[in-house]
Amino acid sequence: MAGTVTVIPDAWSGFHNQAALAFMSGPSLSIHYENHFLIPENSIKAVAAGFPVSKGLLGLNYSLSGCAKFFESRAGLAFGKAFGDHFSAGIQINHLMIHQPAGFGDMHAVVPEGGMLAQPMDGLFIGFHIFNPVQQHFPQCHEQIIPSVMQVGIGYRLIENVFLSIEAEKEMKEKQVIRAGCEYEMARNFFLRLGVSTAEISRYAVGLGYKAKRIIVDFAISDHRWLGLTPYVTVTYCGDGGRKK
């Protein structure tokens, strides 16, 4: 769905909007791989897990991109809590690392993020998320900026098997990005997803998903006008089915 994820509760909410974790119904474990423009050094590998606790849901996530000599990693600890049936909030603490060739030294930083998710009426969702709200940088190099990013999204279940979403993303000193996506359940537990984004040059995405009891398999491809295709694959285990009804 071209990254329109602020209002979608799933195992990856720790990367997109921690408030949505509160709407997960049970434990989950998910692994993900994406190969940007079919260049292995641009690939991203990630894992995410969620565990219900007495006051909400605890999330753990980790992502890695790059190669042996230069790579970036992000490890996060998240918590999402519901306040009634129609509102939730969440927060996450991240450890960011940039590994550089010998002589340059590694860089580390601890960065917060958080979000809110509201359901003012049946089928309508409004989400807000912010990453690095105080505009931190890497202490080892003040010139190495960590982006501060804010997202606002709206999702609406048009009919039982069609979900539409749109969101705006603004990074400090960068042009605003608009994304829109659609999920259509073509047959029972079989999903078609479409998306478009104005990031850089407009990017288009199409994906398929299948849910077999507690296992969910998702595959997608996005296209960049100049740089080409990026494939994505995700496999998720949901302890008791995934999202709350």
**Percentage of the chain exceeding pLDDT 70:** 96
Q: Check residue 245 and give its pLDDT.
A: 46
| Mean pLDDT score of the chain | 92
R_g of the chain computed on alpha carbons: 18
Residue 100: the pLDDT is 86
Residue 55: band (very low, low, confident or very high) from pLDDT cuts 50, 70, 90: confident
The pLDDT, as a whole number, for residue 24 is 87
Of the listed ranges 7-11, 85-89, 175-179, 201-205, the least confidently predicted one is 201-205
Q: Which of 237, 167, 222 is nearest to 36 (CA)?
A: 222
Q: What is the pLDDT of residues 93-129, one digit of tens each?
A: 999 999 988 777 889 999 999 999 999 999 999 999 9
The kind and range of the H/E element at 147 are none
- Residue 25's Cβ-side half-sphere holds a number of Cα atoms within 13 Å equal to 10
- 73 has a pLDDT exceeding 60: yes
Domain boundaries, the chain: 13-238
> Chain centroid to CA 163: how far?
17
Cα(1)–Cα(204) distance, integer angstroms: 9
Query: Would you state the pLDDT for residue 201?
Result: 65
- Dihedral sign from CA coordinates of 3, 189, 158, 12: negative
Distance (Å) of CA 22 to CA 81, 84, 196, 200, 216: 5, 11, 27, 32, 19
Domain 13-238 part of CATH 3.90.1150.10: no
Rounded to an integer, the average pLDDT of 20-40 is 92
> What mean pLDDT do residues 124-136 have?
95
Residues 6+ apart with CB under 8 A from 224: 37, 200, 201, 203, 230
**Which amino acid is it at 200?**
E
Query: Is the dihedral angle over the CA atoms 37, 70, 149, 24 positive or is it negative?
Result: positive
pTM for the model stands at 0.90
